Amino acid sequence: MPITGHLSVTLPRVQQAKVLVASNRGPVAFRLGDDGALRMSRGGGGLVSGVSAAANDGAAVWVCAALGYADRMAADAAPGGRLDRAGHDTGGASVRMLPIDERTFEDAYNAIANATLWYVNHTLFDTPRAPSFDAQWSRYWQAYVDYNTAFADALAEEAADNAQVLVQDYHLMLTPALLRERRPDLRIGHFTHTPWAEPSYFSMLPDDVGRAVLAGMLGADTVGFLSPRWAEAFVLCCVRLLGADAGGTSIHRGGRSTRVNVHALGVDAEELRTRAAQPDVAVRREALRRRIGDSRAIVRVDRTELSKNIVRGLNAYRELLRVHPEHRGKVVHVVFAYPSRHDLPDYRAYTAEVQRVAREIEDEFATSDWNPLLLEVNDDYPRSLAALELAEVLVVNPLRDGMNLVAKEGPVLSADGVAVVLSREAGAADELGPDTLLVNPYDVSATAEAMHAALSMPAAERRERTARLAAAATALPPRQWLRAQLDEL
C-alpha cells in the first residue's frame, strides 16, 4: 500500500523494557587489569538476585551509574551504554550504565547522597559542626539534580509504554518526579533502604531542598520502606513540610496520590546456605576455629559505617570482661569491620578509632595463651559466612539502620544456635525483637549486660530462639520482596 501525505507515526517501543530498575550501584563493576583490559565482576546481594529473577524473561532493564574510571570506559564503549549489547555477561539482566561525568558523579554521590541525605536519615550529624549549607554545598546539590536528571532521561528512553519502574534509595530521590514529567504513562515505585528522619530533624535541610526531596519521591505511585517506623516518619515529613494530606496508607498532593508501603526485606535461606556450603567457606571456618580455639565466639560483621556503632560495641565488650571476669579466657570477640566510603574523612577516622579501641582491649586483657579479640578490616565475604556459622553470640548494635540483614543472616547460618544482641533502632527489630536481646545502642553498660545474658542463655533456649528467628528472617526473601513491589504497581 502506498504511503501518501504527511507521515506522522509513533514508532512502537519494540525494544523497550516493561520492567526497569534504577539504582546508583548496578549489578556489575569493571576494573582495569594489569594488561590495560577491562575486567568485569558481578556483585551479589538481594537486589541483584531479585532483579535477575525479574529479568529472566529478558524484559527488564537495570539502569545504574558508572562508579569509576573503568566503569565509565565500559559504558562509553557500549552502544547506548547497554553493557549486554556490548557482549558483557551481565547474568540475565540487561544493564544500562550511565557514564555521568566524574565531577558530577563524585559531588552527587559523596557530598549529597552519602554526606548529606544518608546522614539526615540516620540522624548522624555532629550538629555543632555539621551540616553547613553554603554556596559550595549548593553547587554539590546542583550535581545531585543533574545526576538524578540523567537517570530520568535514561529511564524515559528505555521504558516501554506503561512500563513499571522501580527506583532505589537515597541517591535517586528526585528521579520519580523528573521521570513522571517525561513519561506520565509509567508506573513508578521508589524504595528507601535507609531509615527516615522525623520532621524536626529532616527540616535541618534547606527548606527548598527538603521540599524538593519529598516532592521528588511523591512523583512515584508508591514509595516503599523497610519498617513502619520509617514510613510514618516520611508521611509526617510530607504533611509538615509540603502541607500534603495523608489518609490511610496514601499521601495526596496536587491532585495525585502516592501509596506508602512497607516491605521488610528478608534473606533467601536456600541461596545463603548453598553459598555457605562452598569449599572457600569451609576453609575459612577451619582457620577461624584454629584461631579461636575452644573459646565461645561473640561475632559482629559490619561495613564500617558511622551508623554501625562499632566503637560502643567494642567498649561494651571491654566492660563485659571487666564486670564479668568469668568470661576471660573463654570468649573471643570476632569483629569484621569492612571498609566503606573511604573517600569521606569521617569514615577513615572511624576505622582508625575501631582499630585503636581494639588494641586497647588487647593490651588490657590478652594473656600468653588467650587473645580476647580478632579484628579484620579487609573484605572477605566467605569468611563472614564462616564466622556467622560459628557465632554463639551475634552483636548487631547500630545507632539506626534501615533493616540490617546481618541480624537475619546470622540465625539462618548458625550451626548450633545464636543469641542475638540487637539494637532496637534497627528495622530488623520489628520482626526479630521478641527472640533477641534488644538494646539501646547508646547504652554501653546495657549492651555489656546483654552480651552477658546471651552468653548465659541455656543452649536449648538459644536453639529454639534461633529457629524462630530464622523463620522470621526468611519471611520475605529478595525475589518476593521485588515481586511484591511490582504487584503493587
Footprint on this chain of ligand G6P (rule: CB under 6 A): 24-25, 169, 193-194, 402
Q: Which is nearer to ligand G6P, 13 or 25 (CB)?
A: 25
Any idea which residue has 510530607 for its cell? 238
Q: Which is nearer to ligand G6P, 180 or 193 (CB)?
A: 193
What are phi and psi for residue 266, nearest 5 degrees? -115, -165
* Minimum CB–partner distance for residue 171 and ligand G6P (Å): 8
* Residue 225 CA from chain centroid, whole number: 12
Q: Which three cell numbers stand for residue 71?
A: 566503569
Q: Which is nearer to ligand G6P, 24 or 52 (CB)?
A: 24
Q: Which is nearer to ligand G6P, 121 or 315 (CB)?
A: 121
CA angle 427, 49, 308 (to 5 degrees): 30
Q: Which three cell numbers stand for residue 453?
A: 545474658
Positive or negative: CA dihedral 373, 119, 264, 180: negative
Q: Which is nearer to ligand G6P, 25 or 348 (CB)?
A: 25
Q: Measured between alpha carbons, how far is residue 17 from residues 5, 159, 184 in Å?
A: 32, 5, 16
Residue with the closest Cβ to ligand G6P?
193
Q: Which is nearer to ligand G6P, 105 or 317 (CB)?
A: 105
Q: Supply the DSSP symbol for 38.
A: E
C-alpha torsion 288→290→292→298, nearest 10: 30
Q: Which is nearer to ligand G6P, 338 or 370 (CB)?
A: 338
Euclidean distance between CA atoms 74 and 39, whole angstroms: 9
Q: Which is nearer to ligand G6P, 109 or 365 (CB)?
A: 109
* Minimum CB–partner distance for residue 247 and ligand G6P (Å): 29
* Minimum CB–partner distance for residue 169 and ligand G6P (Å): 5
What are phi and psi for residue 375, nearest 5 degrees? -110, 130
Euclidean distance between CA atoms 61 and 40, whole angstroms: 18
* Minimum CB–partner distance for residue 361 and ligand G6P (Å): 26
* Minimum CB–partner distance for residue 402 and ligand G6P (Å): 5
Contacts with 468 (C-beta within 8 Å, 6 or more apart), sequence order: 435
Q: Which is nearer to ligand G6P, 107 or 435 (CB)?
A: 107
* Minimum CB–partner distance for residue 63 and ligand G6P (Å): 15
What are phi and psi for residue 225, nearest 5 degrees? -135, 165
* Minimum CB–partner distance for residue 12 and ligand G6P (Å): 35
**CB crowding 291-304: b at 16 or more within 10 Å, else e:** ebeebebbbbbbbb
* Minimum CB–partner distance for residue 253 and ligand G6P (Å): 25
Q: Which residues pair with 296 in a beta bridge?
A: 331
Contacts with 467 (C-beta within 8 Å, 6 or more apart), sequence order: none
Euclidean distance between CA atoms 68 and 131, whole angstroms: 27
Euclidean distance between CA atoms 335 and 395, whole angstroms: 9
One-letter amino acid of 294 = D
* Minimum CB–partner distance for residue 303 and ligand G6P (Å): 6
* Minimum CB–partner distance for residue 54 and ligand G6P (Å): 18
Q: Which is nearer to ligand G6P, 171 or 285 (CB)?
A: 171
